[in-house]
Structure 1
């Protein structure tokens, strides 16, 4: 029986449900938090502080957080983090009806939620391959489902629900997200246990963090996978910085039409997540990643040249499909080839590289639009993506990917053989005293 026909374990259903519920809560708060801040101030810098606070944990603690996750039990890390985030959201939920909300409080909540997201996302990414036995086909199927439901919950259902709840009262979306975290914590706590990472108490946390970063930088496949979001985030944020202005001035699109453009992009993301596994099987994972990256660049090039809103919507849908497929194939490959004891650090290092470039993209997009034209950031973003595709195409080609998978399979076989040998030795050692007693 091929791995395509092996059923995902029952534990994955609970993890998937927890992820869906939590993503819905994230979507609710993603729309409600800026609107909550807007009820307190109209100062753009104050609003920017709340937005930026949520990204700071990845920039400040990304690598160290991965090292901690590699020391801790992954399942316990996930449910404790979600339980803590549920309790955290109760603070502003209580403050809202008492008129005690403030920008500093919202910024602090955003920062702590982002810190919780760092630990939860890193632990979840490390837990999934242990749950699925590091089987590449199962990882692609699982990540496809997780990505699709995340897009549907946080991109489609969550934001309008957040706006509707906020209209009923400022505490509404905060309580809804708190409940989502509580439900997620209960589901995750019921998941099956997986082997705990081997602790290295004598090795400092900083040294372990450096080891994870250097592992990414020395491995061509992992470095190629890390460069894609690093360059991609710079390009996409440069585009998103001026997208609303571009849609208004060049396409004649108002608020409702702009929302439809974003919906088209999300719909493309759902399609891409759904066909990612098929692309990986037909083209090979490496070639599929190259194709999706090239598709993103060409789609943004088409967006920049779009003569009307319909063409722009189509371009965004194509771009979303490329991103959706990439976000299934790349994590699945990383989870299949990285040793379990390094998974947290490798994941957080890759994520941190991507987060670091986002502010540069925002500055680049704003400067290019001011100095030249509102289309210039879009053309620049397309050029960045296509250049990145050319550079990383050989780093993550099919041959390198298959070699990395073979090496990972050999490591896993050696580890199993060592465990069996150790178990056999322990059994023999236990039998020797019994024989001695019988002989006496």
Structure 2
């Protein structure tokens, strides 16, 4: 049996059902996110309202991320994903019916978006925590699985979905939301066929916030997990600052029109897709830690290149490189985390890491906007590149090959000891 056959054999049929559910759901998400602003435009042209809608997409993580992680560690993760997707399907059906009947207004749309965001917190955390259970916490297998999931999400959610959503909205403003509802229904029914995980042993009930604090403490006392959490946080601070002024930079400095700006953004998505599928190649040659250090360096160089570009072609090349590095990062870090974190803490550690990363973006956006106003539109890119150089140092020190290998060995030893202890328990009738 050749290497390719062995690698394929390590991904069980159950994973392919997860993959199918993720693919359809990503397509639905892409449809929704392109149709939502179009629907909002039929209700209001107030730019403040659009700002509120953008903030609402982040609020569920800020308000409920840690609690959601604690709940996922208490609940059956497979059942959590099934119920969450059914609820999101129902919400979108309500939105479609309200749109047909003329009851949909901007307040209802924002409320539905907020509730969908809460569902996203629970589903995303549960799915990240369920995957290691399914794939026996093998880091190489998890990396291949995450590559497929990330690549599919980028292709369908980033390329196909938005285009389909715009076309469907042109047919009827209710059709995109009905299509997204159908994607959640398909996902729910597919996940329901997955293997039922072993029932968790009963534990004394504790206060939910205490459970959340345990997750925070676990991350803070684990240097590798700190590195894997701080790394994207530093990156998102820099990226938040540049994203805030990217449209202005493209228009005023690179002299791009609307069509050119759309093509400009697509280059980053193309790079992201390529970077996602290059992850395995990087790991084989550099190790996971070496790959993380390399991608951090590429991100710094790419942001610097965009900031000093003399035309849109040079800046577009920088965006391709930036997208490729970020795409690889989004597979590398989670795969290591899933392999080393104990099952009973996976939901909370995932939530802490995601919240740390996401909270830095709005701070970076505020800083980038202020810096551009004070110094000029190139400044956020140049300062951001300096911030990313700092991130390279973090990656080299806290997420080195040695630190990752040691953590993987220790996690495997802990699991073996736990299995040995369980094997000596007396059988019960």
Specify if TM > 0.5.
yes
Query: Pick from 245, 267, 272: which aligns with 1:269?
Result: 272
**Are the equivalent residues in 2 in contact too, given 1:276–1:329 (CA < 8 A)?**
yes
1:199 Cα offset (Å):
4.5
Q: Is the 8 A contact 1:37 1:50 kept in 2?
A: no
Which structure 2 residue ranges, 5 or more long, are not aligned?
Answer: none
In the alignment, is the contact (CA less than 8 A) between 1:78 and 1:124 conserved in 2? yes
Q: Please identify the structure whose Cα radius of gyration is greater.
A: 1
Q: For residues 154-192 of structure 1, give each alpha carbon's deviation from its aligned partner in whole angstroms, at most 9, with x where no partner exists.
A: 110011111111111211211111111010001011111
Q: Does 1:7 align with 2:18?
A: no
What secondary structure sits across from 1:201 in the alignment? Answer: coil
* 1:308 lines up with 2:323 in the alignment: no
1:330-356 superposed Cα distances (whole Å, 9 cap, x missing partner): 000000000000000000010011121
Select 1:417's aligned residue among 413, 417, 420: 420
Once residues 395 and 139 of structure 2 are traced to their aligned partners in structure 1, the CA distance between those partners, rounded to angstroms, is 21
Indicate conservation of the 8 Å contact 1:75/1:188, yes or no. yes
1:323 to 326, 351, 361: 326
Unaligned residue ranges in structure 1 (runs of 5+): 431-440
Partner residue of 1:45 out of 44, 48, 51: 48
Could you say which residue in structure 2 is the equivalent of 1:361?
Answer: 364
Structure 2 CA distance, aligned partners of 1:109 and 1:196? 33
> Is 192-201 or 337-346 further displaced after alignment?
192-201
Q: Confirm or deny that 1:55 pairs with 2:58.
A: yes
Q: 1:188 aligns with which of 180, 186, 191?
A: 191
**Alignment partner of 1:205 is 2:244:** no
Q: Which residue of 2 aligns with 1:373?
A: 376
Partner of 1:288: 291
Q: Which digits, 9 at most, give the CA deviation of each residue in 1:277-305, with x for residues without a partner?
A: 12112111111111111111111111111
What is the match of residue 399 of structure 2?
A: 396
**Partner of 1:334 in structure 2?**
337
| CA distance in structure 2 between the partners assigned to 1:328 and 1:234 by the alignment | 19
Q: Root-mean-square deviation (CA), in Å?
A: 1.4
- Look up the SS of the partner of 1:41 in the other structure: coil
Q: CA deviation at 1:195?
A: 2.6
CA distance in 2, matches of 1:234, 1:311: 23
Give the alignment partner of residue 85 of structure 1, picking from 88, 95, 98. Answer: 88
Stretch of structure 1 that moved more, 361-370 or 126-135: 361-370
Aligned to 1:244: 247
CA distance in 2, matches of 1:99, 1:369: 42
Q: Deviations over 1:230-257 (max 9, x none)?
A: 1111211211111111111111111111
Q: TM-score, normalised by structure 1?
A: 0.94
Change (3 A) 1:228 1:290: same
Secondary structure in structure 2 of the residue aligned to 1:252 = coil
- Out of 27-36 and 333-342, give the one that drifted further: 27-36
Tell whether the 8 Å contact from 1:72 to 1:196 is kept in structure 2 after alignment. no
Equivalenced residue count is 426
* Separation (CA, whole Å) in 2 of partners of 1:380 and 1:80: 44
- What aligned pairs does 1:105-254 form with structure 2 within 5 A after superposition? 105-254=108-257
Does 2:351 match 1:348?
yes
Report the Cα distance in structure 2 between the residues aligned to 1:239 and 1:384, rounded to whole angstroms.
12
Deviations 1:8-62 (A, max 9, x none): 0000000000001111111111111122112211111111111111210100111
For 2:258 and 2:413, how far apart are their aligned partners in 1? 54
Q: Distance in 1 between matches of 2:200 and 2:83?
A: 18
Residue equivalent to 1:434: none
- CA distances 1:92-126 after superposition (whole Å, capped 9, x unpaired): 11111222221111111111111111000100000
Distance in 2 separating the partners of 1:381 and 1:30: 28
**In 1: Cα distance, 2:216 partner to 2:75 partner:** 18
What's 1:95 paired with? 98
Aligned partner of residue 55 in structure 1, secondary structure: helix
- 1:387 to partner: Cα distance: 1.0
Could you tell me how far apart the structure 2 residues matched to 1:189 and 1:276 are? 30
Residues 376-407 of structure 1: CA distance to partner in whole angstroms, max 9, x if unpaired?
11112212122122133211111110110001
> Pick from 1, 18, 21: which aligns with 2:21?
18
Which of 49, 55, 65 is 2:68 aligned to? 65
Instruction: Please report how far the alpha carbon of residue 5 of structure 1 lies from its aligned counterpart in structure 2 after TM superposition.
Output: 5.9
In structure 2, C-alpha distance between the alignment counterparts of 1:363 and 1:282, rounded to whole Å:
39
C-alpha distance in 2 between matches for 1:137 and 1:5: 12
